[in-house]
Structure 1
Amino acid sequence: MKRVRAALRLKTIRSRIVSMELIIIIPALILLGVLLYQQMGNLLIKTNSESYDRILESTGRILDNNLEYYRDISRNILSDDTLQEILESHKADEPEDGIMDIVSLIKLKNAMTQYMSGFSGLRSIHIFDNAGKRFSMENGSMTDSFPKDTSFPDMRKSLWYQQAVANQGYETFVGYNVITSKEDAFSCARILKNLKTQETIGFLILTFDKNTFKNVLPSNDDQGKYLLIDTESEKNHIVAYSDGTDAEAQESLDIVNEQSEEYYTCSWEDSETGWKLLYIIRRKDIVKEASGIKTIINNGLLTTIIILAVATFIVCSRLTKPLYELRQNIIKVGEGARSLDGEFGDDEIGKIGQEFNRMVNEKLALSEKITQVELKNKQAELELLQSNINPHFLYNTLDSLYWMAIIHEADDIAELTKAMSDIFKIALSKGDKFIPVSQELDFVKSYLYIQNIRFNGKIKYYIQTDEELRNYRIIKLLLQPFVENAVYHGIEPKIGEGTIGISVYQQEGRVYFEITDDGVGMETMDDLKKGYAVKNSIERIHLIYGEDAEVIFYSKRNEGTKVQISFVKEIKDVQSSID
């Protein structure tokens, strides 16, 4: 188990970021896809329902026209003179259930035959006078097949009869055959009134074949079904359906009555009859059109996930690349690299890489500078000695010469020998690389004393020193090369005496050394700066005191030259690292 967890553990930042982003984004995309699919389904239902409503409304107008046709039949029968005459003559009869007298029957048969033959779809005509005696005609023939268990007084108790009476002579349509109670026909019932007196003189029932409505309803499509139902009766009766069997139509009506959530139903209601035109369809059949959209959504989600995974991997690679490069640089430093290169970006990780490279390069450069300073110092000491003579032996020999000159009272030789001895003493400095300013100035004094003997006292000099700086430690042999330059390039070519001035002071955290002479001066300082001793001294100053140390030359022909050396006063860390 531990091995499995170890194998599944993500070891790199890149893999962790990619995994976390996919874990967050994939469920969100799936949820978005589901919501989008549901929204598309709802939109399809709304769009299709609007289409269904328009179809039902158009069909309803055709249905109204057909019903108006059936109303015309009942109105034509009402206005028939024979009918008016017979029913008017019977209005005072006593209530009696049965058929009319033979004379009335014959007259009505002759009168009604034209309506039976003249109007298609009319199946039967039933006329009742106020006494309840009836006339029945079916399929063009007079009949007495009225159900035995159905009487006119019983009919008066039914809901459809009461509705017809309440309509005051207007037609009432019933979704089944009210005479036989069968579903093979629908009925039109109305009270009959005297056209002149508007007194009720009878009752009319017409039955029509339901098949006449089949041409009115749209044909069923592969998904839904159309129904015309009567909702005003004691129960819902199917008036007509477009296709299929009676059982299928009844099944569709049961679905409507159960109000199943699995089906979608839209309806149109006739304002006069109360009949409803329905369209029933499974909801999943409506959104079946969205299956193609579902495929597009799934493909889009898959493509988006792949693109996101690739994009995330690329972005993470770019994010972690500086970390990898930083790791490689650390390895290089560990293997002994003397400098680091490579570019990092400007983001947070890139800045870390830039700072690391800068820090390492500075440390490596400082180490290199320290090494070079060590070499330069040793080289300066060796060049000063200019031979392989043991410095201590030479110093001891000069000291012996000094005392011999004193014994023989040769004061000039004694002073010269002492000056040389002081120079070697300061140059050696017991191996110290830094000496106080006071010792450096003593070195310069001894040097100028020796040079004055050579030039017969031609050189004058003065030294001005800030007392606070006398014990300040500086690199050994800092001033001598520049003083030597003043002697040989300034005073020696000059006719007559010359003066060399040395000033040591501090200002704004920096220490200044100025060497001036009133010698012949120079037109250009290029040759002077290229001199081996001066060039070597400038390099030593920059190596020890940093790049912000300055060595500046000022010179003008026949007026003289000034050299200004300056650097930051606090260099304890550098001194301690070199020492």
Structure 2
Amino acid sequence: MANSRIRSALRQSRRNNAAASEPEPRYMPFGYKLMLSYMLLTLVHVILFGYLANWIFVDSVRKQTSENVQAALRQMKDNIEYRMKDTVRLSDMIYYDETVASRLRRLNEGYYGYESVTQYLEPKFDSVIKATNHRIWLVVYLRNETLPEIYSFYNDSDPLTYAGKSYNMLYLKRIADNSWYKDFPPERYGVTMQWQQIDRDAEFGNISLLRRLVDTASFGRQLDFGFMRLTVKLTEMFETVSPDFGEGTSVRIEDGKGQILFERGAWTTGRIAQVGESNYLTITEPFQDLDWKLVASIPKEWVEKDAKKVKVLTAVIGSASFLLFLGVGGFLSRYFSKRVSRIVRVLDSFRHGSFHKRIRFKGRDEFSTISQSINAMAEHIDGLIQQVYVAGIKKKEAELESLQAQINPHFLYNTLSSISLLAKFGQVEQLHRMVSNLALFYRLSLNEGRTIIPVANELEQAKAYLDIQKVKYTDRLDVLFEIDPELLRYEMVKLVLQPFLENVLKHAWTGDRVHIRVAGRRIGDDIELRIIDDGVGMTPDTLRRISQFDDGEEAGYGIRNVHQRIELHYGKPYGVSIYSKLGMGTSVTIRLPCVPRTAPYVSSRAELDAGRRPE
């Protein structure tokens, strides 16, 4: 029977521990964490590889486009330089002609000057402008004012449009104050020349080749005797400039100051400035002997039009790869999470006090090793818990028996004292009744050595005790029982009511009468027993001292004994609470758990007196 009680207590303790355990914390399952990390890792790799593939392709397209455009610009530059050199060649026909130099430099008036102009200079100039198929305008400025000027009237229009091919011979003083002439660099024979847009060249879309006229035949010195200007059309000079690189492209020629000399294309520089240069791929090709450069601006969206297709293809391949990896990751995550979940469920059962579950995994891997270790640990812990609980329960039962052994002699001593007084005064009838009730009380108390008795037996013990006391106090003691019949289905620790009834009879008298009411009811899953009297009551200080249910001297011996036995058997939530007010009485509340009855009990006092047990 003792072993049965120990096992029952062990199961009850585990249930209490499980019920009192803290709510399980919320957490993300291992499978979700594994899947999430796998998804992030896969997504990062797919995005990274897709980005790198797209970047490599776009960079390759840009390089290929740049190389193609660079080659086209180089070809354009060569064609432009060829036409510029052709114009320089025309100027060389005059620049290096010593006869022209001597005729233009010699100061002779009259017929010689007329002869020089008509017989040599005009045919020379005419041969120069006829030596090319392009329109050209030749102007020679002279210091020698003995020669006549030759010029035409163009009605304030472009001489190349009006005359086509013509020449003028003017005095140098006409341009002496012009800035472009003053800033012309010092002469290096055969090298110094400039291409500039002077006067109204920019307005008419022309450009001029400027050179000095010098004579080196005079004692090795360079004599500056004039200036030469050859004007050509920009459209003819840059005829080969064509933005045939795609939609929205433009090609322009810039000088060293960043000014645009010529431009062709669907989008002009104004449009480029409006949209932003960052949206264009700019490629330049410098000229060899000039500070000019050929610039091509190509919209990046045109360059990268094929890149969009690659982006779509990359996105499709990346998405398919991601979904494939996701499926593989889901399978692996589910495979491992199932194993981890099984381990977690077993460990949760261990945490709630159940150590009978075991784990079994197929194969030889880390999970198999873990399962074997957990199974061994569970068996070991279960054995240790059994030992600890058995020792604890035995100790607890010993403490309960000790407390019970303490209270029985205490009650017996008080009762025997009363019997002694009755015998002394010769009250034989009352003495007989008290001894009979005492025998009945102890027969119920002993209860074959059981500490836990039915609630009905506890109430019978309380009634037997009060009957003993009525012999002593006769009509001065009035008792009322108000018990809910439902409580008779439960059991409780024995000798709970008697110490408080005894305490009332010892301390609660006010005058020569006292009324006691014993009430019992069920509240939820608990039993509430109350002992109420209309006695003298207690002061707050006395109530505070009595309510200290420790091992000190403050609380009453019987009160402390009952509270400790209830708490020791059922736990901290249960025990005794006292309310009292001086002059009004005291109310003692005893709270116990509803434990269904397992032990039999005697249903009537007549059967107890007969010594028979109910069937």
Q: Give TM-score scaled by structure 1 length.
A: 0.48
Q: Give TM-score scaled by structure 2 length.
A: 0.45
Identify which of structures 1 and 2 has the higher relative contact order when contacts are C-alpha pairs closer than 8 Å and 6+ apart.
2
